[in-house]
Structures are given as C-alpha cells and as structure tokens.
Structure 1
C-alpha cells in the first residue's frame, strides 16, 4: 500500500512520481511496465520509491485509484437515481454510463490502466485493489437498487445482494468490452443503449 510518507512529499515530487508511473503503466501495461523506468523518469532513487510504496503492484493500484478519483471529480456527482418511473430510472442510468464511458474513451491512458487492473487482479495486491473499488461503490449500488425497486424498475423476487452481484458482473464485462473494442465516438451512444438494455432485461421485474 501507499505509505503515509508519500503524502508528506512536496506536491511537485508527488506529481513527478505519479506522472512517471502513469506514463509507464498506460504505455506498457502492468506486466511489461518497469519500476526502474518509473524511478528514472521521476528522478528518485530506488530506495526512495520503496520508502513510499511497497512495490509495483501498490504503485499501480494507487495510480488507478487516484486517476479514477480525478475523473469523477471532473465529471461531477452521479446522484443515486430516484426517478418515479421505470423508464425514467433506466434512462438516468444510461445517461450516467454514457458519460462515464465517453470520458474513458477520451482518456485512453486511464482506460488502459483499468483494463490492466482487471486483467492483473489475480495478484493479491491488485485483487484487493479491485475489491476496494467495489466496496467504495457498493453503498451507491444498494441505494440505487432500493430506489429502482420502489419505482418498479428493479425486480424484487431475488435477494438484493445477488442482484447486485449479477449486475456488477455484467457491468464489468461491458466496461472491458467497450474499453477494448474502442468504438467511434458517434457509435458509443447506441452501444451504451444496447448494453443498458441488456442489463435492464436481467434486472427488471
């Protein structure tokens, strides 16, 4: 994990490390990335790097998380859908998903790192990083499901946690497919509409 000492670095030194790591991971992927190249590009010693991070996996997880946080700050809040009709509810979710995927399409470096995180999650550190991201969005999903059930948009005949697991599995598959296939910008709305329609088919009453 990132060590508290990293937060005590001057902002410009933190940014130099983040910039070097982001460029290396986005350009080469997790497995082919070299921590030595990151160290050289950041202008620090190997000892200093291990003073701030436990290793390449921890640095990668930190970069993906911070880049995602900045993306969501840029996009603005995604309020839990509270539409009173099923069509309105699913339309809101489609709009959210399109905004997110359009932003990822516009930032291919971040999309590449997310793909790398999903592909490399068999390692304990990155598996934990993926689990942490899931836990971070779980309260939002739970409230979204509850609101959808009240609106008649989400089925109530299966446990909510099972429904969330199914929807998250579909969502992850959709994310990977869209980020890998890299559709044209003008094709993205249609594809997102089709994918949300598939999710709606599984989750609606």
Structure 2
C-alpha cells in the first residue's frame, strides 16, 4: 500500500499518478510494466517515487485498490428493493452500469483479473440480505456461504464477460441464469 506521504499529496496529483500507472499496468501487465517508465512519465525522480511507494508492487496494489474503488463507485450503494421484481431490475441495472463502465474505462477492464483479492462484501452483502428478506435468495444456506458462493459466480461471470468485451464481442447475459440457479431452492423430485 502507498506510504503515508502519498495520501498527503493533493487529490489531482494522486489521481494523475494512479492514472498513469493504471495505463502502464493495463497495457503491459503487472510483471512487464516498468516502474522507471511510469515515474519518468510522471516527471518525478526515483527518490521522490520511493517517498510514495516501496516499489512497483506497492504502486500496483494502489492501482488495483483504486480500480476496485472505481467499480464500487459505479455500482453505488444498494438501495433495498421492496419487491422481487424491483430487486431483479436493480441487479440488471447494476450489471448494465458495470458493462458500460468497462467499455468506457478499458484500463479498468484490463485490470479486472487483478482485483480478485478485493472483498466484494461491502456491496454484495446488502444485496444478499435484501434478496433473502424478499424470498428471492434461499435461506436454507448459511448467509456467509451464500455470500461467498455468489461472489465466486459473479467473479467468474465478470471475468468471462470482460474477456469477451476486450475482444470486441458481445457477451450473452448468462450470469443471471447462473445466479438464479444458485439462489433458488432446489425443487423436490
């Protein structure tokens, strides 16, 4: 994570550093991106860069945290739905916002794989709780297990969709049938 001095920089300077680094990491990958090229493009010395970050890995972690924050901002807070129909509509709207964000911010889309370590619970937990209260999400499964399983399915679907979008293909909306299968109570035979 960034050193405390990074957080004392003016907002616009922090955003510039993250934007330039995000572009390099998205284009070259975390392993091939050059810390020296990033700081050269920023017009800062290596000494200055090490006052903000311990190194490239530290800068990359800051970029990924920022991408995750940008995605959460795109999703916004989950307003409790009052009907199952409203709940499903809000989920689809959130999905549409994510796709639009990915298409308009290709660097975030390129770095999506690296955000796997980020905790989805801040956004997803209220969704799960609301869905359980409405009877949309089964309650016979432990809440934390359902949260973890839902996050895993959404993660896999996000990565699959992102790969298709990066290739310029459309992504059929299979996510919801997967999620509905996970959330619904099995039928007795």
Aligned match of 2:175 = 195
Match status 1:5 vs 2:16: no
- Secondary structure of residue in 2 paired with 1:29: helix
- Secondary structure of residue in 1 paired with 2:181: helix
- Secondary structure of residue in 2 paired with 1:182: helix
Aligned match of 1:107 = 105
TM-score (norm 1): 0.78
- Taking only aligned residues, the RMSD between alpha carbons, in angstroms, comes to 2.4
Aligned match of 1:42 = 42
Structure having the higher helix fraction is 1
For these two proteins, the number of residue pairs brought into alignment is 185
TM-score (norm 2): 0.84
Match status 1:178 vs 2:176: no
Structure showing greater relative contact order (alpha-carbon pairs closer than 8 Å, 6 or more residues apart)? 1
Gaps of 5+ in 2: none
Taking a change above 3 Å as real, the CA distance of residues 187 and 23 of structure 1, as seen in their structure-2 partners, is closer
Match status 1:60 vs 2:54: no
- List aligned pairs for 1:23-102, cutoff 5 A: 23-70=23-70, 72-73=72-73, 75=74, 77-85=76-84, 87-102=85-100
How far the C-alpha of 1:27 sits from its partner, in A, is 1.1
1:25-73 C-alpha deviation (Å, 9 max, x unpaired): 1111111111111111111111221211122122112123224434554
Q: Give the distance between the partners of 1:181 and 1:11, measured in 2 at CA.
A: 34
Deviating beyond 6 angstroms after TM superposition, the runs of 4 or more aligned structure 1 residues are 183-186
Taking a change above 3 Å as real, the CA distance of residues 76 and 155 of structure 1, as seen in their structure-2 partners, is closer
How far the C-alpha of 1:108 sits from its partner, in A, is 0.9
